[in-house]
Every structure is written in structure tokens, then in C-alpha cells.
Amino acid sequence: VAYRVLEPANDFFARAISLTNTSGVCSVNNRKASKELGEPNHTGNAGGKSAWWAFTAPADGALWVSTTNSTFDTLLGLYMGNQVAGLSTLASNDDAYDQAPGGFSYLTYAVRSNQTYRIAVDGYDGVSGVVFLSNQFTPATVYRVTVNSTDGGFVSPATMDVLSNSTAVIAA
């Protein structure tokens, strides 16, 4: 019997590291990480070396996550779901600033109390290195916005959570 220590410890969705503080920075090296069967392509890129975190919101508010200071070009995805092959994409980002490709990723998202959100960081086209994942949770008012369409119409997203005093983009 050979025992191999999983590196990084959060290589698999089921072994996601829980972000238990409302703010902080944690790091892992994803050099030996893999991509699971059924795992989504984060930001539409195949990647191939993902690491996973989970955050359970202590209240309604805003969750900010960033890969600032990571040593490679990152892909960042935020999901809901309990199985890697059945995740719903909430938000994703590749290159925080479009004019500076190859850099870090970040996003801010309205989160609901006691809901668990899944966070994935991968490398663009499978690159790897040291991931620095920063997170910040701020309590805030979150509104549920629902837009209905008429017969033959289509609205996306039809329902979404929106932070107070923020902008929502809805396509008809």
C-alpha cells in the first residue's frame, strides 16, 4: 500500500478548504493539482490545475475574493452546489483588468446568510504556481430581483441577488 499526500490538500472539490474568517489570505501551490471529471471550465478556459475553497456566509452581504500576488495567470470561479459535476456558475473572472492580461482575478458577489459558496482557482491554459486567495466579507443589504418576460420573450438572469446601491445587468 502506498500513501500519497494530496497536494494541494484542496485539489478536489470534496476537500475544499473552508474560509472560516470574514477576511484573510490563504495560499497553496497548485503545481500538482488536477482537474476533476465533470469540473466546469472556469471562465470558459479548460485550465487543468484547480484548487477549491468554500465560504458559508454568516449574514447577507458582499463577498470579495481575489488572487492578487499569485505567481501565475489565474482563473477564478464562484459556484453553488454540492457536487462538482452539478455546479451552478454564479460569477467568474479572468484578468481583473482587461487591459492587463495575464494577471490576477477578482470578483465581488452578493451572498445570502447560511448559504455555502464554492470558489475555484485554476491556471489559464493549465499554468500553475502559488495561489494567494484573499477574501473579504462585508455585511450588507441584499435584494432579490426578479424580472418577468412576456410570451416569446427571454430575460437573463430572470432572478438574481443584488447588493444595495449596486448596478445589475439584465439582458432581454
Reading the chain (172 residues) residue by residue, the pLDDT tens digits are: 776 667 899 999 999 999 999 999 999 999 999 999 999 999 999 999 999 999 999 999 999 999 999 999 999 999 999 999 999 999 999 988 765 666 899 999 999 999 999 999 999 999 999 999 999 999 999 999 998 888 888 888 888 999 999 988 888 8
**pTM listed for this prediction:** 0.91
Cβ count within 10 A of residue 160: 16
Surface-to-core class of residue 126, CB atoms within 10 Å of its CB (0-12 exposed, 13-18 middle, 19+ buried) = middle
